[in-house]
Amino acid sequence: MFRSLRPSLPLLLVGLLLAACGLIDTPEAEEGEEFPVETTPGDDPFVDETDPEGAEPLDEPHVFDGQDLTDATMTTRSSPLGGHLVDGDGRTLYVFTLDLPGERTCTDECLETWPVFSTDDVPTVDGEVREDLVGTIPGDDGGEQVTYNDQPLYYYIGDEAVGDLAGQGVGGEWFIVSPGGQPIVEGQD
């Protein structure tokens, strides 16, 4: 069996050498011809397949492919930093470590960068959010600012798309929140 392969080996090596030197014509793709790369739908349920760069901007309605986040006011999402709190649309929620328990210290100009996460009703939960840690404090607009583990929750104006974590670690005082109620301090500036 091995003897019949030996004469073929030198011919194969000669063919490869001639192809490498350009002496044998090999078919090439025409210039500018593109070949589509197929992806498996559902690889990442948080990436909109119609937007190859990632998620849609926050100001547009967003429907995740492959997973319905339900109508929860709060749920959880996985990221490179671990599971953390998000609103029902998947937008990241933050805590300000200088806030006192049950009291917002971010006011006035601070709120222009860090809008409060508020509700008119009792917040509903989904995912790994612990209902016993959810609460509210009076908001300035007549609504209620949602708290988690007695810490007021905020959005970051710099998060431009669902899943963004641009506010993580800002000033060493703003962090995403674990389902257990603790700030996740990894990834800070």
3-state helix, strand, coil in the chain (%, to 5): 15, 20, 65
The residues near 72 (Cβ < 8 Å, ≥ 6 apart) are 88, 124, 125, 126, 127, 129
pLDDT digits (tens, 9 = 90+) for 34-72: 433 333 333 344 443 334 444 545 444 333 333 444 556
* Interval 142-165 mean pLDDT: 93
pLDDT at 22: 54
In a domain, residue 3? The reply is: no
Q: Give the phi and the psi of residue 133 in degrees, each rounded to 5.
A: -100, -10
In a domain, residue 141? The reply is: yes
Q: Please say whether the beta carbons of 180 and 130 come within 8 A.
A: yes
The percentage of the chain sitting over the pLDDT mark of 70, rounded to a whole number, equals: 60
Least confident of 18-22, 50-54, 144-148: 50-54
Amino acid 179 reads P
In a domain, residue 52? The reply is: no
In a domain, residue 136? The reply is: yes
The alpha carbon of residue 96 and the mean position of all alpha carbons in its chain are separated, in whole angstroms, by 20
For 83, the domain range is 74-184
pLDDT at 73: 86
pLDDT digits (tens, 9 = 90+) for 68-100: 445 568 999 999 999 999 998 899 999 999 999
Indicate whether 10 pLDDT > 50. yes
In a domain, residue 58? The reply is: no
User: Nearest 10 degrees: CA dihedral of 111, 119, 167, 160?
Assistant: -100
Which of 164, 86, 175 has the alpha carbon at shortest distance from 127? 86
Rounded distance between C-alpha atoms, residue 136 and residue 183, angstroms: 18
pLDDT at 50: 38
Mean confidence (pLDDT) of the chain: 74
* Interval 144-161 mean pLDDT: 94
pLDDT at 146: 94
Q: Per the structure, how many domains does the chain have?
A: 1
In a domain, residue 97? The reply is: yes
Higher pLDDT, 182 or 14: 182
